A and B are shown apart, each in its own frame.
Chain A
């Protein structure tokens, strides 16, 4: 894979906090190809959210090189090359759903007409067409998160960064939105970097699962997920799915200190 072709390329990336006292990330090397769906998974404190923010240039790396779409992370942010979704939907209550989705376009100076068209497309994509005039508090948690996804995709970015986007939702809603997200991923032809706590979610969604270990945050293993596309609810019941879940679980367990030491 050439440097230019990579959607995200991380070379020797490190991040320290508190004047070098806390090593959040160390020696991260990772290349993500366009169109991939990569999950970052690991115990709390492994720096997976920090890594996502380093890619998005919301947190600067302390060392190493971060390249997004062949540019520096700062350039990519300025060019709206990525959209981001957090665990909280972070919708502004004084704006309607449509105006929330339009906000990034508004900031970039798009005309009202162009904004309107784009917002309509995006709400259609997340299947919330009838809800443009609603206010965020009138929607359920799952619907709010879909609005956040629509907003993140407003610029049709090549890259979608997601920080435990379904972490606050109930299991049923979460599984439904997983399928929804895969459909959106396919339709928008974007690359997704997805942070999660859930092993099953990571395996179900991803083409690759990156297992991280804590203190300092490092990449412990990368698991290729060879489940066929498109994935459906039946995928979760296939033997291969369970094998992969087990593999990721074992890799995760290997990152922890031996159980005997903790007891």
Chain B
């Protein structure tokens, strides 16, 4: 099923980046890439509005850092709000659907279908529903974007526990709540974290694209759109850089929490040893 994010192969996340030596090749490629970009813009005499040089983007980034960062944080707050609301609602909903299977089997196909809808297409409509200048409409877009992948994956994690594990709990005369607390939820955590990482990216996309269709002047998406419209390409690129840095930081912080929570995941995938 393409809508389900499989947890990473065990240990991979930990091996990559365990020590500085792992980072050297990637850093080298980055420096080389930026260097050739810088040189090629001159050599191929690419027009400034098509592609500014990295050095110019960096200078603009520095000169306009105050405006750009506050715009970035404004948009990040929208993304974070949407992420928390959307993912939180999705996890609660998944618990409900896992507990009441009939409800689950009725709604799951719809959730999977909804997961395949390009929800971002609704952004202009959300801007109409909520105030176009307020962050609410962007939070809504981000929340809905986060909702379905987190729902589908959490439900998948909660229900993919092997039958023996449940039978064992029954042999202890464990109640439904105990089965959830001790087995289903821990078993679902790798699925949930995979989904949350995807959701963090989606939340940033939702907030920024939502802003493209109109929003506060303080918002990063508006900064990007307006500077592109006014041919201030260095500013547009610098703003994109801010969005990228925030997006990567968001993703990385979730990955860090994941690593702390899933410390037990040495080289196991399924969570229940056969």
Contact = CB atoms under 8 A, between A and B. Distances in A.
Contact of B274 (A80, A88, A107): A88
A136 B273 CA distance: 7
Nearest to A138: B266
A88 B164 contact: yes
Interface in A79-133: 80, 82-84, 86, 88-95, 103-104, 106-108
Contacts of A183: none
B273 A86 contact: no
B264 interface: yes
Contacts of B170: 58, 77
A263 interface: no
A34 B111 CA distance: 53
Interface residues of A, number: 27
A56 B265 CA distance: 32
A108 B264 contact: no
B268 A90 contact: no
Given A90-B273, A94-B264, A137-B267, A104 B172 contact: yes
Given A92-B183, A107-B178, A138-B266, A77 B271 contact: no
Contacts of A88: 162, 164, 273-274
Chain A interface, DSSP helix/strand/loop, else mixed: mixed
Interface in B177-199: 178, 182-183, 186-187, 189
A93 B164 CA distance: 14
Contacts of B182: 92, 103, 106-107
A33 interface: no
The residue in A56, A86, A93, A95 that gathers the most chain B C-beta atoms within 10 A of its C-beta is: A93
Interface of A: 56, 58, 77-78, 80, 82-84, 86, 88-95, 103-104, 106-108, 135-138, 144
Interface of B: 162, 164-165, 167-174, 178, 182-183, 186-187, 189, 262, 264-268, 270-274
- Closest A-B pairs by Cβ, 4 of them: A91-B273, A88-B274, A136-B273, A94-B264
7 contacts: A86-B167, A92-B183, A93-B266, A94-B265, A108-B172, A135-B268, A137-B266
